[in-house]
Amino acid sequence: ATPADQHQTDYQARADDDESTSDHTYEAMPGATPADQHQTDYQARADNDESTSDPTNSTIQVGIDECKKKPCQHGRCGNKDVGYNCTCSPGWTGHDCENDVDECKENPCKHGRCVNKDGGYNCTCSPGWTEHDCENYVDECKEKPCKHGRCENKDGGYKCTCSPGWTGHDSENDVDECKGNPCKHGRCVNKDGGYNCICSPGWTGHDCENDVNECKENPCKHGRCVNKDGGYKCSCSPGWTGHDCENDVDECKENPCKHGRCVNKDGGYKCTCSPAWTGHDCENDVNECKENPCKHGRCVNKDGGYSCICSPGWTGHDCANDVNECKDNPCKHGGCVNKDGGYKCTCLPGWTGHDCENDVIECKENPCKHGRCVNKDGGYSCTCLPGWTGHNCENGESN
């Protein structure tokens, strides 16, 4: 047989074999060349594959872009020379990505129940667990569930340590302390987290367990308090009267001021004395010198007054005025500066002494470096040695 005859025989054998599993019948084309017959053979096999894998029994043709029909239900289609491939999205499988993957078979939920869904799954976490796969325990304490207490986180839950006066799983319930009758001598009033006692008269303390010491409140305005069972008594200071020593005694009714006018005051009185009298009751002659009225001098007391003997440099009734000595020009060779109680001279150069009356002997200091010093009133002059010059003979002629 020729190559063309052999190819025809091979094609017919495969076609007969395919026909046993397919409803399609393929016949050789009259006058077909071996190449044409090979194409027909390929088409027959492609059609046969399509009939067993595609419910629509569509025919795959060479050069056709099957992806235009979007055969991949949940994935990306890749066209091929003959046919196509589907790259499925996560959670899908099958030739056309038409089948959902049941991820729950792998038990992905660490602490919870897995619910499969199209293209994935959801975890319904057990109490106290969170995250996508229920792999992390919930820190319930972040939400501050303990209303009145301290939260302690635990695997899958939490525990509240309640503050005093609170109870319940979340420390949300107030304890009624009044059920235990804590107030010894009074009425109990419950409140959130505790209780208050309204004590009967004469009792105090958190639980009304202590006798009231009224004297702590200092009820006696001007006197000493003596506590008693159920009350107190005031021992008043001089000048005060009344239950709480709240009333002033008017001492002026007794005319206590000997030489002056009486002015009543709270708890006593005051005498406004006549001139030249002093003392609490204006019974003593005033000694004005005790107040040292003479600012710069000696005080001499007199009945009804005083006189000042001023120190040098001061004048006035109380020796408060400074004498301006500069008016008399005391500084012989200088300027005068007046001061409190005296003066100061600022001497001109060459003069000294309190009143600048003394000539300065400058020659004592040997100011003439290379010569003889001659003193003068208010200064000096230098007689220089040969070869020297300058005010103090300090310059040589070569300089």
pLDDT in tens, 269-290: 999 988 888 889 998 888 889 8
* pTM, two decimal places: 0.28
Work out the average pLDDT over 45-67.
51
Which has more pLDDT, 7 or 344?
A: 344
User: Cβ-count burial of 312 within 10 angstroms (0-12 exposed, 13-18 middle, 19+ buried)?
Assistant: exposed
CB atoms within 10 A of CB 70: 9
pLDDT for 206 equals 92
For the stretch 222-250, pLDDT in tens is: 999 998 876 789 999 999 999 999 999 99
Work out the average pLDDT over 167-193.
90
Task: Work out the pLDDT band at 381, boundaries 50, 70, 90.
Answer: very high
Whole-angstrom distance, CA of residue 394 vs CA of residue 399: 10
Q: What is the mean pLDDT of the chain?
A: 81
Q: Residue 276: CA atoms inside 13 Å, Cβ hemisphere, count?
A: 6
Q: Is the pLDDT of residue 58 over 80?
A: no
Token reading at 207: 């639980």
Compute the Cα dihedral for 329, 335, 338, 341 and give only its sign: negative
Q: Is the pLDDT of residue 28 over 50?
A: no
**Residue 246: which of 214, 220, 216, 225 has the closest Cα?**
220
pLDDT for 398 equals 63
Task: Work out the pLDDT band at 48, boundaries 50, 70, 90.
Answer: very low
**Residue 192: which of 167, 169, 170, 166 has the closest Cα?**
166
Task: Work out the pLDDT band at 154, boundaries 50, 70, 90.
Answer: confident
Task: Work out the pLDDT band at 81, boundaries 50, 70, 90.
Answer: confident
Whole-angstrom distance, CA of residue 21 vs CA of residue 28: 19
CB atoms within 10 A of CB 384: 19
**Residue 149: which of 181, 175, 130 has the closest Cα?**
175
Burial annotation 270-299 (CB, 10 A radius, 16+ → b, else e): bbebeebbbeebbeeebebbeeebbebbeb
Angle, nearest 10°, between helix axes 3-19 and 34-53? 10
Work out the average pLDDT over 65-83.
91
- Write down all domains in the chain, each with its CATH number in brackets: 3-99 (2.10.25.10), 103-137 (2.10.25.10), 140-174 (2.10.25.10), 177-211 (2.10.25.10), 215-285 (2.10.25.10), 288-322 (2.10.25.10), 325-359 (2.10.25.10), 362-396 (2.10.25.10)
Q: Is the pLDDT of residue 178 over 70?
A: yes
Task: Work out the pLDDT band at 63, boundaries 50, 70, 90.
Answer: low
Helix residue ranges, H only, the chain:
3-19, 34-53
CB atoms within 10 A of CB 43: 16
Which H helix or E strand runs over 87? strand 84-88
